[in-house]
Amino acid sequence: MTSPSVSAFAGFRFPREVISVAVRWYLRYGLSYRDVEELLAERGVDVDHVTIYRWVQRFTPEFVEAARTCRRVPGDRWFVDETYVKVNGRWTYLYRAIDQYGQVIDVWLSVRRDLTAARAFFRRALATGAVPVEVTTDRAPVYPRVLDELIPGALHDTEQYANNTIEADHGRLKARLRPMRGLKTFRSARALATGHDVPRTDPTGRPVIASLEPIARSGG
Query: Does 60 or 187 have the greater pLDDT score?
Result: 60
Asked whether residue 33 is domain-assigned, the answer is: yes
Q: Of all residues in the chain, what percent carry a pLDDT higher than 70?
A: 78
- Contact by Cβ (8 Å): 64, 195: yes
Q: Is 129 left (phi over 0), alpha (psi -120 to 50) or beta?
A: left
Note down the domain range covering 124: 73-183
Q: pTM of the entire structure? A: 0.72
Residue 53 and residue 80 in one domain? no
**Residue type for 12, please?**
F
Residue 207 reports pLDDT greater than 60: no
Residue range 91-126, pLDDT digits in tens: 889 899 999 988 888 888 898 999 999 999 999 999
**Residues with Cβ < 8 Å from 93, sequence gap 6 or more?**
82, 83, 84, 109, 110, 111, 112, 113, 117
Looking at the fold, whether 11 and 38 belong to one and the same domain comes out as: yes
- Does residue 52 lie in a domain region? yes
Residues 46 and 104 in one domain: no
Phi, psi of 95 (to 5 degrees): -85, 135
| 154 and 96 both lie in a single domain | yes
- Residue 163 forms part of a structural domain: yes
DSSP notation for 121-133 = HHHHHHTTS---S
Pair 88, 159 in one domain: yes
pLDDT at 90: 83
Assigned domain for 122 exists: yes
Inform me whether the pLDDT recorded for 216 exceeds 70: no
Sequence-distant (≥ 6) Cβ neighbours of residue 63 within 8 angstroms: 23, 195, 198, 209, 212, 214
CATH of the domain at 92: 3.30.420.10
The count of domains in the chain is 2
In a domain, 85, yes or no: yes
| 119 and 82 in a common domain | yes
In a domain? residue 193? no
In a domain, 195, yes or no: no
Q: Hey, what amino acid is at 21?
A: V
